[in-house]
Chain A
Amino acid sequence: DGGITQSPKYLFRKEGQNVTLSCEQNLNHDAMYWYRQDPGQGLRLIYYSQIVNDFQKGDIAEGYSVSREKKESFPLTVTSAQKNPTAFYLCASSGDGGSNYGYTFGSGTRLTVV
């Protein structure tokens, strides 16, 4: 079945360490996105990529970095510069720029920094 896979589901890291969250899709979607969700809050856009080797900052990109070397993969690195990294991270993809295409989401990675 086609879909988006995020791994791991739970991740624990020490403060000051960089950590990379994986996002892989086999839907042949061009666009991919990373969102952050804090308890009781909506989703906030971190980064997005509409095509391989290109990506743009979202609303809360500070302290994060991404790469898009392959169409299927859009990993997110949470750097030590991110002041409050503990959150639920969601990856999504969509078919193209057309208005009819919605998002397909992964099941998320819950990151806890101790």
Chain B
Amino acid sequence: DAKTTQPPSMDCAEGRAANLPCNHSTISGNEYVYWYRQIHSQGPQYIIHGLKNNETNEMASLIITEDRKSSTLILPHATLRDTAVYYCIVRVTNTGNQFYFGTGTSLTVIP
């Protein structure tokens, strides 16, 4: 089973920041948090990942709480093309290389 909890859906106004939360209260010390997104009927796309520190790349920022029990993905200026399902995943390192995907958050960017 997936080890993360995300809200099923969110809306965001175009041009505003989209903040997508994720709870992973049972995360282990050596497990990373990954974020992917899936546009309808396509394969998921990697966004960002992190262990302890906050991370930023050209797509998004990842904020991980100090206790590592939750994180937030931030899309700084949401566009209509950011409408997708966003998956927060904790890497299960003790069972090999698999990712376990939950149902994610369906983000709708509103014009």
Contacts and interface: CB of A to CB of B under 8 A. Distances in A.
A45 interface: yes
B97 A42 contact: no
A58 B99 CA distance: 11
Interface stretch (B15-23, B43-51, B62-70, B72-80): B43-51
A107 interface: yes
Contacts, number: 64
B96 A45 contact: no
Chain A: interface size category: 20 to 34
Given A42-B101, A42-B104, A103 B46 contact: yes
Contacts of A110: 41
Interface of B: 2, 30-32, 34, 36, 41-46, 49, 51, 87, 91, 93, 96-104
12 contacts: A31-B97, A41-B103, A42-B87, A45-B98, A48-B96, A50-B97, A90-B43, A92-B43, A96-B97, A99-B91, A102-B36, A105-B44
